[in-house]
Amino acid sequence: MNDLNRYKELKEVIWYHNDRYYNQDNPEISDYEYDMLMQELKALEIKHPEYISDDSPTQKVGGEAKREAGVLVKHNVPMLSLQDVFSKEEVEEFIKDMKEQLEDPTFVVEYKIDGLSLALRYVNGKLDVAITRGDGILEGEDVTVNAKVIKDVKKTLKDPIEYLEVRGEVYMTNEAFDKVNEMQEIKGKKLFANPRNCAAGTLRQLDSKITKERDLSMFVFNIQDVRGKEFNSHSEGYEYLKQQGIKIIEDYKICKTADEVWQAIVAIGENRDKLDYDIDGAVVKIDSFADRRKLGNTAKVPRWAIAYKYPPEEKETKLLEIELSVGRTGRITPTAIFEPIRLCGTTVTRATLHNQDFIDDLDIRIGDTIVVYKSGEIIPKIRRVVKEKRPAKSVPYVIGDKCPVCGAPAMRIADNADIKCTNHSCPSKLIRNIVNFVGRDAMDIKGFGFAYVETLVEHGYLKDLSDIYGLIDKRQELLDKKIIGLVKSTDNLLNAIEGSKNNDASKLLTSLGISNVGKSAAKSLMKKFKSIDNLMKASYAQLVEVNDIGDISAMAIINYFKNSDNQAVIQRLKDYGVNMEVNEEADSDNRFEDMTFVVTGTLPTLSRKQASELIEKHGGKVAGSVSKKTNYLVAGENAGSKLTRAQSLGIDVINEETLLEMVK
């Protein structure tokens, strides 16, 4: 790939991850991985300054203002990003640059809190409005009601000066975060990935009671604007804020030399484990306000400050045991169970070991001291074994040749690292097959959760997929034994099962769990073959003619339907009245065939899911991100970075009204 194509690709990828981080509070990659992408982009811009355009992520702050939490408010002072650096040499270069431009500058080094930026405006000593960063330049969200229930936000100042605007970081302590996730688990809701995501989502809640319950915290780290009083320096401003009862970053260091600055950064890094909240770096900033004004800002960052980013966090712990589980395909997965450690704001005790090859490559043994890190700040992974701390009598770990659940023979698949249970009736395989079958992207049987599946398998009611549709005949027995619950719970589930019989055959095909046949491939297959019966008779040559179906997928389909057990399950499903054919009415209109859409923002009448289903009903494909292959972007309010990317790529942007016109 040449430099220009790589540059365009990097812009697209970074804008996608900006959207996930700033606007969806749901990042897919770690800060470190994101920073490396930005560093690569910046290097290309230095090499090719002619590439730089207004839509480059280096020229804009990553977020966008949203309406969900309230009205939009214009920024009086931009809430800019900071220039990131990753080495001692870069820090020294910054200090040298400042000394060349300023006369005897003083530096402040302080924690970089991992949270959500918030500006507080005080008028005559009273909190007037609280604003999120939003787009960083023009406007942010008014979250004043929520800010007022944060214990660290001062509602009234001791000194009622004319106007004061401060900027800080809203965050969650580790203890508060653990309590929120504990409550999420009790309620059966999705857990938050890390404290930063939880804090961001909580600040944007429409119900301030929820914000208060989740116990947010806040540090103030800058005076943005002031009238009625004068400050000469950042440190002087800090002392004033402390007198007003405003919580600031206390452990800041005043430095004069590059060596002092670096020692302060090192000290903060060494202290990270002792804090009850997350930091992701150290900030180095010029102390004098006059010097700051002299240096000014770029379009994105102040010239008078940098953020040193620490390497990804990793810790040592002791491997206690290796747990083996069996998936729906029979694949045996080893998982490391270790002494609890805290990484990126969460307590972790488990990490996947993937397969025997992975275990052998790292030479992992029970009792070993291992180094664990977080990939994407979400998924724990094992970096290495500390072999000098290995117990004297440790032995290599071998998964073995028997299934850990049913005891049947387990075999390694040729040309593959996986070891699989050979028993088609293995309870663990069955449970996961049924969970897949009833899931949202498959037969979508509402209310049929893992717990019900596990209970019904354990009590012998489900021996294969087809048994799901025989549960209606055992209604009274299920009620008498309280297998599912009371009458309402039982009837709701049985009714949902009966209703799923009418699903389009593409959903049934998706639910069978054939390797490499997901939702998209199932739709393509059913579009060509029209029924499960026809698909079962299809030849290899016919299968590979279908989009999304290659050699491996074609052979997986043929092998699945060759299996006599699978044939028997299909026949029983048919006998129970499960639909085996495509809905010809839905399939008759393929006006969006070979077209790719992306849906973003808030549409006037349709949800994103409804809009996506409408597009798919007419033969179109809906993607999650904008690329060169996108034909149309369906944009509503707050379309954000996806809209920017679509415009930069020359992709047609339409609204809901136009989409509805297109399907008339």
Q: 107 with 254: CB under 8 angstroms?
A: yes
Higher pLDDT, 207 or 582: 582
CATH of domain 3-51: 1.10.287.610
Q: With helix as H, strand as E and coil as C, how does 226-286 read?
A: EECCCCCEHHHHHHHHHHCCCCECCCCEEECCHHHHHHHHHHHHHHHHHCCCCEEEEEEEE
pLDDT at 101 over 70: yes
Beta-bridge partner residues of 222: 167
Between 31-47 and 3-18, two packed helices, what is the crossing angle to 10 degrees? 140
Tell me the pLDDT tens digit for each residue of 417-450.
789 898 877 888 888 889 999 988 789 898 898 8
> pLDDT, tens digit, for every residue of 246-258?
999 888 999 999 9
| 199 has pLDDT over 70 | yes
The angle formed by the CA atoms of residues 526, 528 and 532, to the nearest 5 degrees, is 40
Q: Give the pair of three-digit tokens for residue 404.
A: 């850990």
Give percent of the chain above pLDDT 70: 94
Tell me if 498 is assigned to a ligand binding site: no
Distance CA 383, CA 353 (A): 11
528 is in an annotated binding site: no
Q: How confident is the model at residue 47 (pLDDT cuts 50, 70, 90)?
A: confident
State residue 278's pLDDT score: 85
Q: Is 432 annotated as a binding residue?
A: no
* Residues 449-484: tens digit of each pLDDT: 888 998 998 898 999 999 999 999 999 999 998 888
Class of domain 589-662: alpha beta
Structure token pair of residue 440 = 């949202």
Most confident residue range from 44-58, 69-83, 99-113, 578-592: 99-113
Find where tokens 């809905």 sit: 583
* 234, 285 contact by CB (below 8 A): yes
Bridge-based pairing of strands 369-375 and 314-326 is antiparallel
The residue-averaged pLDDT of 192-220 equals 86
SS (H, E, C) 567-591: HHHHHHHHHCCCCCECCHHHHCCCC
Reported confidence tier of residue 616, pLDDT bands at 50, 70, 90? confident
Query: In Å, how far from its chain's centre is CA 664?
Result: 36
Confirm whether residue 310 is marked as ligand binding: no
Q: What angle do CA 88, 94, 95 make, to 5 degrees?
A: 90
Paired with 369 in beta bridges are: 318
Say how far apart CA 368 and CA 389 lie, in whole Å. Answer: 7
Question: Does residue 537 carry a pLDDT above 80?
Answer: yes
pLDDT at 65 over 70: no
**Residue 378: predicted pLDDT:** 66
Q: Is 82 labelled as part of a ligand binding site?
A: yes
Task: State residue 379's pLDDT score.
Answer: 77
The predicted structure's pLDDT at residue 63: 55
Q: Which fold has domain 72-309?
A: D-amino Acid Aminotransferase; Chain A, domain 1 (3.30.470)
- Look up 112 and say whether it is catalytic: yes
What is the percent of the chain with per-residue pLDDT over 90, rounded to a whole number?
A: 49
Residue 478 contacts by C-beta under 8 Å, 6 or more apart in sequence?
A: 461, 471, 484, 490
Which pLDDT score, from 0 to 100, does residue 510 have? 92
- Tokens linked to 612: 């996506």
Distance CA 284, CA 460 (A): 64
As annotated, the residues of the chain forming the CATH 1.10.287.610 domain(s) are 3-51
Comma-separated ranges of CATH 3.40.50.10190 domains in the chain: 589-662
**Phi, psi values for residue 414, rounded to 5°:** -60, 140
> How far apart are alpha carbons 24 and 387 in whole angstroms?
41
User: Which segment of 72-81, 142-151, 585-594 scores lowest on mean pLDDT?
Assistant: 585-594
Which residue intervals of the chain bear CATH 2.40.50.140? 314-412
- According to the annotation, is 169 in a ligand binding site? yes
CB 275 within 8 A of CB 255: no
Where do the CATH 1.10.150.20 domains begin and end in the chain? 427-584
Between 68 and 336, whose confidence is greater? 336
Residue 452 assigned as binding residue: no
Contacts of 125 (CB under 8 A, 6+ apart): 156, 157, 158, 159, 160, 161
Highest mean pLDDT among 57-66, 488-497, 622-631: 488-497
Residue 406 labeled ligand binder = yes
If you average pLDDT over every residue of the chain, what do you get?
88
Residue 12 has pLDDT above 90, yes or no: no
Alpha helices in 105-213 (DSSP H): 144-147, 174-186, 195-203, 208-213
**Interacting residues of 8 by C-beta distance below 8 A, sequence separation 6+:** none
d(CA 513, CA 442) in angstroms, rounded, equals 9
Pick 231 or 347 by higher pLDDT: 231
Measure the CA–CA gap between 387 and 394, rounded to whole angstroms. 11
Confidence class for position 66, pLDDT limits 50, 70, 90: very low
What pLDDT shows up at residue 181? 83
The two tokens of residue 586 are 């839905």
Q: What is the pLDDT of residue 69?
A: 42
Which CATH code of 3.30.450.20, 1.10.579.10, 1.10.150.20, 1.10.3720.10 fits the domain covering 427-584? 1.10.150.20
Copy the structure tokens of residue 644.
């920017």
To the question of whether residue 198 is assigned a binding role by annotation, the answer is no
Which pLDDT tens digit goes with each residue over 372-386? 987 655 678 899 999
Query: 581: closest CA among 573, 589, 593?
Result: 573
344 known member of a binding site: no
What is the average per-residue pLDDT within 321-334?
Answer: 89
* Structural tokens at position 590: 């393929």
Mean pLDDT of the 25-50 span:
79
Q: Which CATH number fits domain 314-412: 1.10.760.10, 3.90.660.10, 1.20.140.10, 2.40.50.140?
A: 2.40.50.140
Beta-carbon contacts of residue 475 (< 8 Å; ≥ 6 apart): 490, 491, 494
Residue 104 has pLDDT above 50, yes or no: yes
Amino acid 240: pLDDT: 95
421 annotated as ligand-binding: yes
Query: What phi and psi values does residue 510 have, to the nearest 5 degrees?
Result: -60, -40
What is the predicted pLDDT for the residue at 413?
A: 73
pLDDT digit string, tens, across residues 178-195: 888 888 777 667 778 778
Distance CA 412, CA 330 (A): 11
The answer on whether 255 is annotated among ligand-binding residues is no
Query: Catalytic: which of 112, 154, 621, 642?
Result: 112
Q: Is 239 annotated as a binding residue?
A: no
Determine the pLDDT at residue 359: 94
Q: d(Cα 144, Cα 649) in Å, to the nearest integer?
A: 37
Residues of the chain with CATH 3.30.470.30: 72-309
For 126-182, what is each residue's pLDDT tens digit? 999 999 988 888 888 889 989 999 999 999 999 889 999 999 999 999 889 888 888
Q: Is the pLDDT of residue 546 over 70?
A: yes
